[in-house]
Structures are given as structure tokens and as C-alpha cells.
Amino acid sequence: MFDDTNLTFHGFLRAADGTFTVLVAPSADTGTNSGTIAFSANADATVAGIMQVASPGAAHSFLRTSNGTYTVFDPTITGVLYSWAFSINDNGAVVGSYTDGKTSHGYLRTADGTFVILDAPNAAAPGGTGAERINAAGAVIGFYADPQNVTHGFVYQ
């Protein structure tokens, strides 16, 4: 990620030959401290990240394929305010987190677009659950906050 002269965030993808592609998700805000942030790329050069929009000041998950096509999405759950795509594996599965305004939840988006909500059994508000990374075998790692607001790690397989 880098900031431009307006302090707008831009993701980028660096090819093996050293060329850079600047990522600007559709409808991403171009104001200060907003824009497009890339978090992960797979072997097919599909990028997972977030785009921020000015109104209503939300963030949404996105995928950008190697041909430049963007898919902006949120988990298909009522009440999603913000979502973040943090990791994509070579099978096209994505993990991330979203908030409903009360707590955070993890999600897994399979390659076909199906969502699985990943809430750790002992997770509690306000911290909730966050899904951070997914490996080639589909194992997900993340964290959750318990009722005493102590943070723990988890693995979902």
C-alpha cells in the first residue's frame, strides 16, 4: 500500500518482471485516509483487500483478478456495516472479518462465493472473532476475544 499526494491509499501488485499495477477499486473513496488496500494475492495474481467509501464511510471486501476485474462484496448477512478481506489462497477461498456494529465476526468465502461465518465458540462482544489467513489446504487461523476480553487464537479446518 502507498499514499498519494492526497493521502489516499492505493494497493499495488508487483509482477515477476518488476512492473507495478496500481489498484483502485470501483467506488473507492479518494479522500484522505481512504481508498484501496490490498492484503493478499494468490498464484493467479488475484488480490484480496478492502475498499473504503466516503458515504456512509464504510469498508467493503474486494477481489481483483489478473485481468483487472473487481468483485466488491460483503458477507451475505443482514446488518453488515464493514468487511475486510485479509487472505486468499490458490483455490480462490477468501477469509476476512466483518462487523455488525456490535462485534466482529470472521468469514470464509469459498471460491464459488458461498459464505461460512466463523465465530469462535467462546467469542464475546465487543472483540468477537477475526479470521486472518487461509492456507492451501483451507485451514484458517484467526483470533477471538472471550467474555473477559482476553484474546486467543483459533484454527478452523
Model confidence over 36-88: pLDDT tens digits?
999 999 999 999 999 988 766 688 999 999 999 999 999 987 777 889 999 99
Q: Which residues span the domain enclosing 72?
A: 2-156
Give percent of the chain above pLDDT 70: 97
In this prediction the pTM is 0.90
Q: Look at residue 15 in the predicted model and tell me its pLDDT.
A: 87
Chain mean pLDDT for the chain: 91
Structural domains counted in the chain: 1
* The C-alpha cell that represents 79 in the structure block: 446488518
In contact, 125 and 102? CB cutoff 8 Å: yes
Contacts of 145 (CB under 8 A, 6+ apart): 123, 124, 126, 127, 128, 151, 152
The mean pLDDT value for 122-139 works out to 94
Q: In which band, very low, low, confident or very high, does the pLDDT at 133 lie, cut at 50, 70 and 90?
A: very high
